[in-house]
Structure 1
Amino acid sequence: MNILMQIRLKLFLILIISYINNVRSCNFDTCGECISYAEEKCVWCAQDGITGPRCRSLKSLSATKEVGSSWCKPEYIQNPKFEMVVAEDKQFAENKNGSQVQIKPQVIKVKVRPGEPVDFTMHFKPAKDYPLDVYYLMDISYTMQTNLKDLKQQALKIYKDLSVYTNNVRLGIGSFVEKPGFPYVDPIRHTSHAFRNHISLTDNMKLFISTIENIKFGSNFDDREAGLDGLMQAMTCREEIQWREHARRIIIMSTDAPYHSAGDGKIVGAIKPHDMQCHLKNNKIPETEYKNLARQITGATFARLEGGDSVIKIIKQAYEELSNTIQIMHKAPPFVNVTIDQDCNSVPKKNCLVQHKKQLTINGTLVVKSCPKPSSKNKHIVTLNPYGLRENLRIELDIACECSCEKENGSIVPDICHGSGFIQCGICKCLPGRCGQCECQNGFSGNFCEFDDNSCPKPNNQLCFGHGRCIKGQCSCDIGYSEKDCSCKNDDKDCYAPYATEACSGKGKCICGACVCDTIKGKNETYSGVFCDSCDECAAARCTELQNYAYCNYIHKDNKAICDADQGSKVSNIIVEFMNKKEINGPKLFTAKWCKTELENKNGSYVVFRYQYVNHDLKIAIQEELESPPKANIWIAAGSAIGLVLLIGILTVIIWKILVDIHDKKEYKKFQDEALAAGYDVSQNPLYQDPSINFSNPVYNNQCIT
């Protein structure tokens, strides 16, 4: 056979295998199951009298050119078409009352099959003078007096600066101190509340400023404050605070203390979690911690109050981030996957920055992963909206999980379906209480005998690796085996090395009855060996596991059964052999690992043994001769110790002398420099004084007095 023929044969085999796999993937008995298979685009033939499977992969039909020809006439093929209609698309508009149109389209209707991607586009254009509600939530414990003073001085300026962005601004203020209960608060000595709404949202700045001026400070025992209590009430008490339905909302929480953690209110009987409801009656009710809290609340940011105009800067920055960026949120049924192209961390950024009065286009894709339960509604909704806005894009899904031919019931004809049913989608639909089923010839199965039970994988002329049966063209594996061809052994017995306690030596995973070794930490390599115990440090651990068994066999050389007793399968694959010192060092055990174990009451002597694997069997070679510890010469050891001590002593004295000389030299040099700086002549002693009377020696230099 020449090379060209070999290539053609390989291509032909590949096409056949691909065709068989595609047919199997669309292995369904009803039209609805066929068209709703998410992993493959399957089509159903409702034509009467065809042979073979009615559900086929559209890909396989296209490859074999059977669409609309030999397999099925086009008018009988059930292949629901994708449909997408924009049902509502109002133009961008602005209204001061809050009914702006900033998102378009508003409603999209889609008819789609499971597994079929739906690409959609939404447009966003920020409205001018969009309503803005800003609510201050202040910690009014005594330590916050300075911050409240800054707010009093800057309240009017804040209002004017925000009015530059939108002329539809309202401000409000609430406060918190601490949970009003012992041991946090002494009801007699302290004035405290978990939350109080001082003034609802208003555009009356005189009323707002006068309210701030009349706020009185509270106090409590502990460092933590009721910040989360106040924040929850500020968010949930919509009517009391008068949050507007169509408005951007900003809550500015200002505090210098950490908040209470979950469960620490049990001491005062606060054991129930918050019910997320407003509980206002008469308007009452540290840094890293708030950084973490901001990460947990969508759209929240953290900033430090620095005094001066810092409050204004924080508010302006928060509003600019809120109005100039967009984050799309979505809500979808659990069987629908939605992805939105808004990667704000990419370079350049996408779909994040919103320029003033400019339109932004956002793309997305949704995929129906599977058909919903029959009890669920026919229409399923996916909603998408920018964070902080009420407007949304509504996508209504009509999921094709039923063929059109299944919605029609044919008439009962005596000669068809034995008068006990009617033709539906090309097959008999039996009446209640009737069951029609084909009697298949040997080697075929399925409701219509359409599956060849010899078409499953057949290595070594064994269907399904000899570990299962071929049913409906697919392997039905025996207990203990899995995968499509039953080649995967689920039992991890073969992953345990003989006389080991962990599968794959604890350094790998047992997959299909064989070890897949892990990566060695800190190295760009993996463990190796049948049981993942081939590494530098692995041999020592394995020696420790085997030392008791080797020791037992050395003691009972002629009776291995004593050491094997009560060990079960742990020793079923162990071969023990005794060798002399020459043999155990020979080439026969070239790859074997060295081990030793100390004998009891043998003056430190130890047994030497080596181990290696032969396939999955463990071979242990034990040295017949004992090894004795080396005997040391005590005089040499004593002399060495004494000599070492003397040497250290001499070196210590020499080093001490050198260091003292160096120190004295430095001190003398320092003395000279200080004397010169003071104007002394260092050539003579500064304490020296010339004598007041001189006497000459008459005999000095042979001189005489006359």
Structure 2
Amino acid sequence: MLLFGLIIVCLVVDVCSQACSGARCGDCLINDGCGWCKDSEFSSPRCAPINQLTDNGCVAVIKRKEHVVQLLQNDEFSDGGPGLEPVQIKPQRIKIRLTPNSQLRNVMVFYKIAKNFPLDLYFLNDPSYTMRQLTSSLNLLANDIANDIATLTTDFTFGLGTSMDKVVSPFTRQDPKYLATPCGTTSIPCDFPYSFIHRQPLTNDITAFTNAVRGVNTTGNQDIVEGLLDGLMQVMVCGDRIGWRKKSRRMVIYATDINFHHAGDGRVAGILQPNDGLCHLDSNGKYTMAEVQDYPSVGQILQKARENNINIIFVIGGTENEFIRNNYYDKFATYLPGGFNNASELTTDASNILNIVGSSYRRLRETVKLVMTKVPEELDVGIYSNCRTGRFLDKTNNCTGLTLEKWTNFTLFLFSNMTTCPDQRTVNFTIFPEGLEERVEIEVEHVCDCDCQLEPEAEPNSTKCNQRGTYECGVCHCNEGWSGDSCECDERGSETEACGTEAGICSNAGNCTCRKCDCFEGFSGDKCECNDLNCPYFNGKLCGGPSNGRCSCGSCVCDPAYSGKACDCMTSTEACKDSNGTLCSDKGNCVCGKCECSAGFRGEVCERCQSCPGTCSTNNDCVECVGFNQGEYNQSVCLSKCGNVETVAIFLEPGNETTTTSCILQDNFGCLIYYNVYETDTGRFVQVRSVKRCPPGPADPVTVGLSVSGAFFLVGIILLLIWKLLTMLYDKLEYSHFETEIKNPVWEKSENPIYKECVTTVQNPMHDIADVSHDEIANETSHI
């Protein structure tokens, strides 16, 4: 339950999701809920939750800045007209100061239809025989189309081009007859085959447009499918030749009654070079690369339509072409700018072209779809509007049903998903209505620095930083190559140059800091080359401990009062002098502050004689008395004189400071008594072995006799038991064999060899021979 409660607190307060960290103020404040203390004498962590900083006594706490939205250009809406620039979207330029790792939700973009917004309308027609009615209708209805468009905008232009197919087999007939008369007869005015001809640049002169329409003749090709995508590509990319205006709504009326060739179809004619998507029109407006480059792909058409803001309206002639319209052009239209999900149907006489053009333009004008150029990875941008619900914001970039009086607004949600300050602080992206050249340029500046990081608050080359860094927000931000609280550490150059050895950086026994080796515990030297734990020990301590000496680079450096490899020798001889001031009583040498006694002497100053006469003899009487209650001393004398004698089963091991003398005493009974005399600093004591060694006496006859008799008796009993055991085993085996014979059924059926029957049977040996001869005779008679 405690863990569950902590999770709930984390979700509500949002204090568990981010840890406060950062060496500089700006890096710290990226984390939501964190603050920076710029007090110069503040000793706790400067980057911490704001309440923690105040609890620790920080006075100058710096918090995150608020977002700032600045409108750099915000021209008012304008309907346009003669000499006036139409404005449909505002503001035009926005600068946003955005705090990293945060969200901004109040950036507004407004859109309103301009009454006289420029319209460029280009007709791309199929000049085949079956589409001849469209040419007639355009000729007749050009003025009506202009009048209808004039009710929507007074600033419009018309242009014209026709597109058929590549003049190469198998797309177009190559025999001389059809090249001269592509329509197969001289009775029909027919142009020579061509791929695309740009006939009339965009103009507001309706007469010039109708004259261009009258100049269009029918032409023909060989296969059913036609190559209008070649012409469509040239219309979109040849902006100067076509006459597209920079700020206008661009519409292409693509009219045909058949499906289209696309990328890859050119291979059947040996055309392998891909379409390059560039303009290739000659001075007469004719497409010059039709027989060199393949048809453009659908993807290329979509890309160029978006790049050049072209709105394409498919007009498919003939009610019988419903299959082509539904399966080719409707699907194509779905992906094109403008939001047209289907192609328009052209009647047989093409009389509804007026309605198609007018309704298509109205639909384009009354719909706006905001799109964006590529947004930098560190930003997430969402577009919201209430144009659908009227009250609540909905995530949509598309609004329909707009009028001159009814306009809409969009709200941009910006979220910075950075966790560190980037090197490039300013990024740009653009929002614009799809199919239009109007733009909203948005500049986003990531506000990563605190004010105290910038001048005049910041102090470049400050004396507080040894003139090697900037003093900002209470700390030093060191220049490149320097570090430390006061920029005292020189970090220029590589670690190898400053701290490298054959064994590694700092001999692999430290860290390179400020171009110097900071050695691990137990190591020393400029590059940690000395192992200060590799010295000899004395009394379980390195170099005898701090009072004796210290280890330096593998060798002991001793205190003046000590010497030796492990600082184990005292240099003073005071402890070796006796009461007369003689060193070791002249019975030894003073070594390392202690006497090394000559043979036979012991004691701190060799004052006692170990092997002098009387050491054993003076203790004999006490040994007999205490050890075996015998000898010269009676009980009372023994108690008074022999208090330092004890009886033991095994002699004790003498200590390092004990001198031992081993003695042997032979008593009046001839037995040997063993004892040791121990000399210690505190006195003398004696240990007597509890068992003495005596010579053997004569054997006892009675004991010997009884032992021999008992041995013989015991051997007899054992032999009798063995005989009895063997007998029992043999009887058991015989009885088992008898039971087996009794149970055998064969035995009951066999004859008893002892029994003789009363009837004797005698067999004549000649009986069988007589029978055989008789039979043979009978057989021979039978054969005759």
Structure 2 length as normaliser, TM-score? 0.48
- 1:121-132 map, 5 Å: 121-132=108-119
1:34 partner letter: C
Structure 2 distance, partners of 1:26, 1:395, is 31
Q: Could you tell me how far 1:176 is from its partner in structure 2?
A: 0.5
1:170 partner letter: T
Query: Residue 137 of structure 1 contacts residue 173 of structure 1 at CA under 8 Å; is this kept in 2?
Result: yes
Residues 558-578 of structure 1, C-alpha deviation per residue, up to 9 Å, x if partnerless?
Answer: xxxxxxxxxxxxxxxxxxxxx
Which stretches in structure 2 are left out of the alignment for 5+ residues?
180-191, 288-323, 487-512, 514-784
Match of 2:26 in 1: 32
Of residues 299, 322, 334, the one that matches 1:295 is: 334
Query: Residue 327 of structure 1 contacts residue 386 of structure 1 at CA under 8 Å; is this kept in 2?
Result: yes
Match of 2:147 in 1: 160
- 1:165-564 map, 5 Å: 165-187=152-174, 188=176, 189-190=178-179, 191-281=192-282, 282-285=284-287, 286-287=324-325, 288-299=327-338, 301=340, 302-308=343-349, 309-335=351-377, 336-342=379-385, 351-370=399-418, 376=424, 378-407=425-454, 410=459, 423-436=471-484
Structure 2 distance, partners of 1:236, 1:181, is 24
Which stretches in structure 1 are left out of the alignment for 5+ residues?
1-5, 439-446, 448-706
Query: Residue 98 of structure 1 contacts residue 131 of structure 1 at CA under 8 Å; is this kept in 2?
Result: no
Match of 1:87 in 2: 72
Query: Residue 120 of structure 2 contacts residue 244 of structure 2 at CA under 8 Å; is this kept in 1?
Result: yes
Structure 2 distance, partners of 1:103, 1:330, is 14
Q: 1:99 to 1:375 in 2, by over 3 A?
A: same
- 1:499-648 map, 5 Å: none
Q: Could you tell me how far 1:68 is from its partner in structure 2?
A: 4.5
Of residues 127, 133, 137, the one that matches 1:150 is: 137
Structure 1 distance, partners of 2:259, 2:375, is 38
Q: Could you tell me how far 1:404 is from its partner in structure 2?
A: 3.4
Structure 1 distance, partners of 2:55, 2:28, is 20
Residues 604-651 of structure 1, C-alpha deviation per residue, up to 9 Å, x if partnerless?
Answer: xxxxxxxxxxxxxxxxxxxxxxxxxxxxxxxxxxxxxxxxxxxxxxxx
Q: How many corresponding residue pairs?
A: 423
Structure 1 distance, partners of 2:22, 2:167, is 66
Comparing 420-429 and 115-124, the one that deviates more: 420-429
Q: 1:148 to 1:28 in 2, by over 3 A?
A: same
Query: Residue 45 of structure 1 contacts residue 78 of structure 1 at CA under 8 Å; is this kept in 2?
Result: no
Q: Could you tell me how far 1:322 is from its partner in structure 2?
A: 1.3
Query: Residue 327 of structure 1 contacts residue 342 of structure 1 at CA under 8 Å; is this kept in 2?
Result: no
Query: In structure 2, the residue corresponding to 1:220 is in which secondary structure?
Result: coil
Structure 2 distance, partners of 1:49, 1:20, is 30
Structure 1 distance, partners of 2:137, 2:7, is 82
> Which has the larger Rg?
2
2:380 partner letter: N
Structure 2 distance, partners of 1:379, 1:316, is 44
CA RMSD of aligned residues (A): 3.6
Query: In structure 2, the residue corresponding to 1:259 is in which secondary structure?
Result: coil
Match of 2:773 in 1: none
Query: In structure 2, the residue corresponding to 1:210 is in which secondary structure?
Result: helix
Residues 173-206 of structure 1, C-alpha deviation per residue, up to 9 Å, x if partnerless?
Answer: 1010012333322344343323211111222223
Query: Residue 127 of structure 1 contacts residue 357 of structure 1 at CA under 8 Å; is this kept in 2?
Result: no
Query: Residue 475 of structure 2 contacts residue 485 of structure 2 at CA under 8 Å; is this kept in 1?
Result: no
Q: 1:105 to 1:10 in 2, by over 3 A?
A: closer
Structure 2 distance, partners of 1:168, 1:420, is 65
Q: Could you tell me how far 1:17 is from its partner in structure 2?
A: 11
Q: 1:182 to 1:398 in 2, by over 3 A?
A: same
Q: 1:209 to 1:201 in 2, by over 3 A?
A: same
Q: Could you tell me how far 1:76 is from its partner in structure 2?
A: 4.3
Structure 2 distance, partners of 1:10, 1:317, is 61
1:80 partner letter: K
Query: In structure 1, the residue corresponding to 2:233 is in which secondary structure?
Result: helix
Match of 1:116 in 2: 103
Structure 1 distance, partners of 2:244, 2:460, is 62
Identity of aligned residues (%): 27
1:156 partner letter: N
Residues 455-474 of structure 1, C-alpha deviation per residue, up to 9 Å, x if partnerless?
Answer: xxxxxxxxxxxxxxxxxxxx
Query: Residue 111 of structure 1 contacts residue 397 of structure 1 at CA under 8 Å; is this kept in 2?
Result: yes
Structure 2 distance, partners of 1:148, 1:280, is 23
Query: In structure 2, the residue corresponding to 1:333 is in which secondary structure?
Result: coil
Structure 2 distance, partners of 1:141, 1:13, is 74
Structure 2 distance, partners of 1:29, 1:92, is 48
Residues 476-515 of structure 1, C-alpha deviation per residue, up to 9 Å, x if partnerless?
Answer: xxxxxxxxxxxxxxxxxxxxxxxxxxxxxxxxxxxxxxxx
Q: Could you tell me how far 1:226 is from its partner in structure 2?
A: 1.6
Residues 306-339 of structure 1, C-alpha deviation per residue, up to 9 Å, x if partnerless?
Answer: 2353211211111111112222222353232222
Q: Which has the higher contact order (CA 8 A, sep 6+)?
A: 1
Query: In structure 2, the residue corresponding to 1:260 is in which secondary structure?
Result: coil
Structure 2 distance, partners of 1:218, 1:320, is 33
Structure 2 distance, partners of 1:33, 1:252, is 56
Query: Residue 170 of structure 1 contacts residue 202 of structure 1 at CA under 8 Å; is this kept in 2?
Result: yes
Q: Report whether the alignment pairs 1:101 with 2:93.
A: no
Q: 1:429 to 1:202 in 2, by over 3 A?
A: closer
Q: Could you tell me how far 1:346 is from its partner in structure 2?
A: 6.5
Q: Could you tell me how far 1:375 is from its partner in structure 2?
A: 5.7
